[in-house]
Amino acid sequence: MSTEIVTPELSQVERHGYLFGHPISHSMSPLLHKTVYDSLGLNWAQIPMDSTDMNLFLQLIKHPQFYGASVTMPHKVAIIKHLDSLTEEGAAVGAVNTIFLEEDSAGRRLFKGTNTDVIGVRDAFRYNVDSEKFHNRPALVIGGGGAARSAVYALRTWMKASAIYLVNRDPEEVRAVIDECTARGYGDSLVHVETVAQAEKLEGVGAIVACIPNLTPKSTQEKEARNILECFLQKDSPKGAILEMCYHPTPWTEIVEISQKADWQVVIGTEALIYQGLEQDRYWTGKEVKQLPVEKVQEAIAAKLNEPKL
């Protein structure tokens, strides 16, 4: 079964949104949302806009049939100054991946921004593991980009992490994450773990979020970061769950393999993709996630993953 998305003309749909970013050719966002809209009987479509032209995007979203947009790199921060307001999550993370509409008392459309990536992390754990058993235990985040910031927020806010260890090949990126999270009010108990010797002395973790590409470590710093991860995976403390955010071109990464060998429960990154996307549709359609076709979305994404790679 092919899961190719054919972009419709605007005249063929009642309402339309955009996926705005560059590059986005491998994104499964349009497929995810098409599955939702088809199931709900909505003649809606999310149109891929592979572009860095912010001015064009800002003109297009003024269309009366526009319902909202997914915003991805490199626009997640740059879009903020063009919005009327942010939700708590959007403001806390300092990056927006979702635009939705509200009306003020005068009937004027307001463009609002939120961050559903944090919900994706939260719900990937919530719906796949007994996440409450990780409460009040340390957690681990691997990486230093935007996904790492979202992971820190989710682990601190909903999974009650007592401390969050940060591991990355680039110490400057870790410093930036700590400084930014601290400035936004959730940076306490962030610990940069730089060596295996340091990791050996630390308490074991319950939840891990890996936010790096699936690449075999080559540099000294990359190898040390991987060794630190393996140190935590091998600790005698109760085994936990790891969310591997990387799923392209495959969710079955090196980190998944070593985690499974260490008897950790693995949650693949498409689960975070799915739940952040369903949260977007909650804003756009007004329906709660439990009213959305979760299983159909999971099936569609799984089918796309299983398609032969060209």
Residues annotated as part of the active site: 76
CA-closest candidate to residue 19, choices 82, 86, 79, 68:
68
Q: How many angstroms separate the most distant Cα atoms in the chain?
A: 62
Q: What are phi and psi of 177, to 5 degrees?
A: -65, -45
Q: What is the SS3 assignment for 201?
A: coil
Q: What is the SS3 assignment for 299?
A: helix
Which residue bears the tokens 């939120």? Answer: 114
DSSP string spanning 21-35?
Answer: ESS-TT--HHHHHHH
Cβ neighbourhood burial of 4 (10 Å; 0-12, 13-18, 19+): exposed
CA pair distance 217, 125, nearest whole angstrom: 27
- The strand pair at 241-244 and 207-210 is best described as parallel
Q: What is the SS3 assignment for 46?
A: strand
- DSSP letter assigned to residue 236: S
- DSSP letter assigned to residue 184: T
CA pair distance 266, 241, nearest whole angstrom: 6
CB 42 within 8 A of CB 13: no
CA pair distance 260, 248, nearest whole angstrom: 19
Q: How many CA atoms lie within 13 A of 126 on its CB side?
A: 15
Asked whether the CA dihedral 87, 155, 273, 301 is positive or negative, the reply is negative
CB 161 within 8 A of CB 207: yes
CA pair distance 187, 169, nearest whole angstrom: 20
